[in-house]
Amino acid sequence: MNNLNFIFLLLALLAEILGTIGGFGSSVFFVPISNFYFDFYSILGLTAIFHLSSNLSKVFLFKKGLDKKLLLYIGLPAVLFVILGGWLSKMMNTVYLEVLLAIFLIAICLLFLWKKNLVIAASKKNAVSGGVLSGFSAGLLGTGGAIRGLTMAAFNLEKSVFIATSAFIDLFIDFSRTIVYYQNGYIHKHDLIYVPFLLAIGLIGTYMGKRILNFIPQEKFKRISLSLILIIGLITLGKVLF
């Protein structure tokens, strides 16, 4: 217990709550926050394990519906390309990966904040493209939920169906990249002490986020979430460069 960083665990809980409410997934907060406590490869391994419990919780708590077509069109290419992204990550210097992560977070946030009514056409081609990009980003950088969320938003799904479908897709992504990250040596023995706590946080944070979601307008909270992610992205970039 003395080796645990409880501030990190509290921040992980906050990341799960915000990720559930904002609809972006916890990794968009969890990855840059973890960057201040662990090396980047450890972050990828912990994120995959953390997300497994997080998405199992979402599937259980938001089980009112599932869009099987989107599960196929977005989920299948996402799983294939998360494997590719995870495999390529071991060939890149962690400094470059951190810079890419920071730039990715900043670019995504600025895009959403500037084009708040941005809409992607609800087509099979765009669904597949969104799956490819979100999966590749998740494998390489640890987070791709924002891209998948933007893609799925085009199909005007009911909130619980949106979250359940996204969670199912993410579950397959996380299962696949956990295997790749393990083979790459990203899951370290000295980090495993955090796993049971992160599994519990995934369930508790999802439940708390679901309850809070009933009281906060989704659009308003998304702007707050995006602003927070933008700040995290800028801090991450500053940390790497300076």
The span from the CA of 13 to the CA of 132, in Å, is 28
Per-residue pLDDT of 19-66, as tens digits, reads 777 666 777 778 888 888 888 888 888 888 887 777 777 777 666 667
Which tens digits make up the pLDDT trace of 71-126?
889 889 999 999 999 998 888 877 787 788 788 878 877 887 787 776 667 788 88
> pLDDT tens for residues 180-205?
988 888 888 888 888 888 888 888 88
DSSP class of residue 241 equals H
How many alpha carbons fall within 13 Å on the CB side of residue 14?
A: 14
Whether 31 is covered by a domain: the verdict is yes
Residue 13 lies inside a defined structural domain of this protein? yes
Q: What is the pLDDT of residues 134-163, one digit of tens each?
A: 889 888 888 777 777 777 777 777 766 777
Q: Which domain holds residue 28?
A: 6-241
pTM recorded for the entire structure: 0.77
Q: Does residue 93 fall inside a structural domain?
A: yes
Burial environment of residue 11 by CB neighbours within 10 A (0 to 12, 13 to 18, 19 or more): middle
In a domain, 85, yes or no: yes
pLDDT at 23: 66
Q: Is residue 1 part of a domain?
A: no
Cα angle 102, 49, 6; round to 5: 75
Instruction: Report in angstroms the alpha-carbon separations of 181 from 32, 134, 214.
Output: 18, 17, 36
Q: How far apart are CA 223 and CA 20, in angstroms?
A: 14
For 74, list phi and psi in degrees, rounded to 5: -95, -40
Q: Which among 22, 49, 62 is positioned nearest to 201, based on CA atoms?
A: 49
Query: Quick check: is 38 in a domain?
Result: yes
Angle among Cα 85, 87, 88 to the nearest 5 degrees reads 65
Which of 7-11, 74-78, 161-165, 219-223 shows the lowest per-residue confidence on average (mean pLDDT)? 219-223
> Structurally, how many domains does the chain consist of?
1
Name the nearest CA neighbour of 159 among 213, 225, 222, 204.
213
Query: Does residue 37 sit within a domain?
Result: yes
Whether 200 is covered by a domain: the verdict is: yes
